[in-house]
Structure 1
Amino acid sequence: MDKIRIVGGNELNGTISISGAKNAALPLMIASLLTDETLTLENVPRLRDVAQLTQILSNHGVDYSVDGKRAGDDSLKGQTLHLTAGEIVDTTAPYELVSKMRASFWVIGPLLARMHQAQVSLPGGCAIGTRPVDFFIDGLRALGADLDIDKGYIVGSCKGGLKGARVNFPKVSVGATHTVLMAATLAKGETVIENAAREPEVVDLANCLKGMGAIIEGAGTDTIHVQGVDRLHAYRHAVIPDRIETGTYAMAVAMTGGKVLLEGARADLLDSAIETLRGAGAEITQTPEGLLVARNGNGIKPVDISTEPFPGFPTDLQAQFMALMTKAQGTSRITENIFENRFMHVQELARLGAKIQLDGQVATIEGVSELHGAQVMATDLRASVSLVIAGLVAQGETTVSRVYHLDRGFERLEDKLSRCGAQIERISA
Structure 2
Amino acid sequence: MESYHIRGGNKISGEYSVKGAKNAALPILAATILCGAECQLSNIPQITDVNSMKKILNELGCKTDTSEETVIVDSSELVADTISLKRMREMRSSVFLLGALLGRCGSAVISQPGGCNIGSRPIDLHLHALRMLGTEITEKDDVIICKASKLRGAVIEFSFPSVGATENAIMAAATAEGHTILKNCAMEPEICDLQNFLNSCGADIHGSGTKTIHINGNSALHGGNHRIIPDRIECGTYLVAAAATGGEIVVKNAESLHLKSILEKLIETGCTVGVKRDRIYLKACEKLTALDKLITGPYPEFPTDLQSPFLTMLTLAEGKSYVEETIFENRFAFANELKRMGADLLVEDNHAFVTGVKELQGCRVAATDLRGGASLAIAGLMAQGETFIEGIEHIERGYADFSQTLRSLGADIRKTND
Between the aligned partners of 2:404 and 2:273, the Cα distance in structure 1 is 23
What secondary structure, in the 3-state scheme, does the structure 2 residue paired with 1:343 have? helix
Q: Is residue 5–residue 397 contact of structure 1 (8 Å, CA) maintained in 2?
A: yes
Q: Is residue 254–residue 300 contact of structure 1 (8 Å, CA) maintained in 2?
A: no
Residues 213-254 of structure 1 show CA distances to partners (whole Å, capped at 9, x for unaligned) of 111111000100000012111111111111001111111111
Q: Is residue 290–residue 356 contact of structure 2 (8 Å, CA) maintained in 1?
A: no
1:86 corresponds to: 76
Q: Is residue 263–residue 289 contact of structure 1 (8 Å, CA) maintained in 2?
A: yes
1:122 corresponds to: 112
**How far off is 1:266 after superposition?**
1.4
What secondary structure, in the 3-state scheme, does the structure 2 residue paired with 1:427 have? strand
Q: Is residue 256–residue 278 contact of structure 2 (8 Å, CA) maintained in 1?
A: no
Between the aligned partners of 2:189 and 2:352, the Cα distance in structure 1 is 27
Aligned to 2:88, which of 92, 98, 106?
98
Q: Is residue 255–residue 278 contact of structure 2 (8 Å, CA) maintained in 1?
A: no
Report the AA paired with residue 37 of structure 1: A
Report the AA paired with residue 41 of structure 1: L
Confirm or deny that 1:227 pairs with 2:207: no
TM-score, normalised on structure 2? Answer: 0.98
Aligned to 1:183, which of 172, 184, 187?
172
4+ residue segments displaced more than 4 Å: none
TM-score, normalised on structure 1? Answer: 0.96
1:258-269 mapped onto 2 (5 Å cutoff): 258-269=247-258
Aligned to 1:330, which of 319, 322, 330?
319
What secondary structure, in the 3-state scheme, does the structure 1 residue paired with 2:262 have? helix
Counting matched residue pairs gives 418
Aligned to 2:301, which of 308, 312, 315?
312
Confirm or deny that 1:62 pairs with 2:52: no
1:51 corresponds to: 51
1:236-275 mapped onto 2 (5 Å cutoff): 236-275=225-264
1:361 corresponds to: 350
**How far off is 1:62 after superposition?**
0.9
Q: Is residue 2–residue 401 contact of structure 1 (8 Å, CA) maintained in 2?
A: yes
2:191 corresponds to: 202
Aligned to 1:158, which of 134, 143, 148?
148
1:20 corresponds to: 20
**How far off is 1:289 after superposition?**
4.7
CA 1:298–1:152: 2 relative to 1, 3 Å: closer
1:7 corresponds to: 7
Report the AA paired with residue 123 of structure 2: V
Aligned-residue identity in percent = 39
Report the AA paired with residue 133 of structure 1: I
Report the AA paired with residue 316 of structure 2: K
Q: Is residue 255–residue 300 contact of structure 1 (8 Å, CA) maintained in 2?
A: no
What secondary structure, in the 3-state scheme, does the structure 1 residue paired with 2:240 have? helix
CA 1:107–1:299: 2 relative to 1, 3 Å: closer
**How far off is 1:157 after superposition?**
1.1
What secondary structure, in the 3-state scheme, does the structure 1 residue paired with 2:170 have? helix
What secondary structure, in the 3-state scheme, does the structure 2 residue paired with 1:44 have? coil
Structure 2: gaps (5+ residues): none
Between the aligned partners of 1:326 and 1:122, the Cα distance in structure 2 is 36
**How far off is 1:270 after superposition?**
1.6
What secondary structure, in the 3-state scheme, does the structure 2 residue paired with 1:50 have? helix
**How far off is 1:298 after superposition?**
4.6
Residues 358-398 of structure 1 show CA distances to partners (whole Å, capped at 9, x for unaligned) of 11110000000111111111111000011111111211111
2:386 corresponds to: 397
Between the aligned partners of 1:301 and 1:330, the Cα distance in structure 2 is 5
Between the aligned partners of 1:192 and 1:289, the Cα distance in structure 2 is 34
Between the aligned partners of 1:328 and 1:86, the Cα distance in structure 2 is 54
Report the AA paired with residue 242 of structure 2: V
Q: Is residue 273–residue 313 contact of structure 1 (8 Å, CA) maintained in 2?
A: yes
Residues 131-178 of structure 1 show CA distances to partners (whole Å, capped at 9, x for unaligned) of 11111111001001111112321111111x200000111111111111
Report the AA paired with residue 247 of structure 1: G
What secondary structure, in the 3-state scheme, does the structure 2 residue paired with 1:204 have? helix
